[in-house]
Amino acid sequence: MSPKSLISFHWLAIKLRCSSKYVGDYCEYPNPCLTGLGRCQNGGTCQGSYRNDRLSISCICPIGFSESLCEIPVKNACDSSPCKNGGTCNLNTLEEYTCACVNGYTGEHCETQNICATSPCRNGGTCTSVSGGTSFKCICPKGFKGHTCVDDVEECKLNPCKHGGTCLNTHGSYQCMCPGGYTGKNCESKYVPCSPSPCQNGGTCRPSTGLTYECKCREVVITEVLADAVVQSKCLNKNVHARKTQRINAKYSGEGYFKVIPMSSL
């Protein structure tokens, strides 16, 4: 067999894989499932083909239906409507099924009411079924009240803020604006400078006068290595080559910052 004949033989042996829009040995015909030649019913899956010089379809039927277009129901376990309270019967086989229950019901046949399934308790409340599942009770978290925990507790009515603090009600809680000299959730504690220390980077806090404080920052000596930098100036359109060696002394200054002081200025 010549190489040309061998190529032709292999070409004929290859069955083209068409996209879902076309059928035929060379994908030359529109898929009849998409052109209205026939429609599978009751959720059947349509498969188009081209055989014996004609377009045709076949249907893969779901459980419970048969015939060419899945139009004929087959006797099955869901015919007796076993699922209660609006549940949907789904066939596993013609004899076996499962019930998909609507929200608020549970059980093999959706026969048990689960009133907490609708999450009636708000703001993180915990729902508990009572009276045989016909009603519910909400256990509300701190800061909320009411049958479904939607009401905010106004803690400021109890005057929780001490030493003249001003109470501000918030969603589910409250906040005390403390006068000078007091701190804490309810302004119950005297403010002591440096307790705890607000100074950062190892600084030492020292009380000064009244309610103020000072941070004494630790000193660190750093030796800068030789650095080469080429800086391009856009204004002058030229390169400036800078070479500089400098020993510096670094001091932490303020809260969380440090400044660099050349040795020559010390």
State pLDDT tens for residues 62-75: 999 998 899 999 99
The answer on pLDDT for 117 being more than 60 is yes
Given a cut of 80, whether residue 238 has pLDDT beyond it is no
- b/e per residue, 95-106, with b = 16+ CB within 10 A? eebebebeeebb
| Domains of the chain with CATH codes | 22-73 (2.10.25.10), 79-114 (2.10.25.10), 155-190 (2.10.25.10), 192-232 (no CATH)
Q: Is the pLDDT of residue 130 over 70?
A: yes
Per-residue model confidence (pLDDT) at position 221: 52
The mean of the pLDDT values for the chain is 79
- Residue 120 confidence (pLDDT) above 60: yes
CA 114 to chain CA centroid, Å, is: 27
| The three-state (H, E, C) secondary structure of the chain, written as one string | CCHHHHHHHHHHHCCCCCCCCEECCCCCEECHHHCCCCCCCCCCEEEEEEECCEEEEEEECCCCEECCCCCEECCCHHHHCCCCCCCEEEECCCCCEEEECCCCEECCCCCEECHHHHCCCCCCCEEEEEHHHCEEEEECCCCEECCCCCEECCHHHHCCCCCCCEEEEECCEEEEECCCCEECCCCCEECCCCCCCCCCCCCEEEECCCCCEEEECCEEEEECCCEEEEEEECCCCEEEEEEECCEEEEEEECCCEEEEEEHHHC
User: What's this model's pTM, rounded to 2 decimal places?
Assistant: 0.43
Write the single-letter amino acid at 138: C
Predicted local distance difference test score (pLDDT) of residue 91: 93
**Predicted confidence (pLDDT) at residue 81 exceeds the cutoff of 90:** yes
The answer to whether residue 226 scores a pLDDT higher than 50 is no
So what's the pLDDT on residue 196? 82
Residue 232 pLDDT: 36
- 193-198 mean pLDDT: 84
Q: Is it the case that residue 145 has pLDDT exceeding 50? A: yes
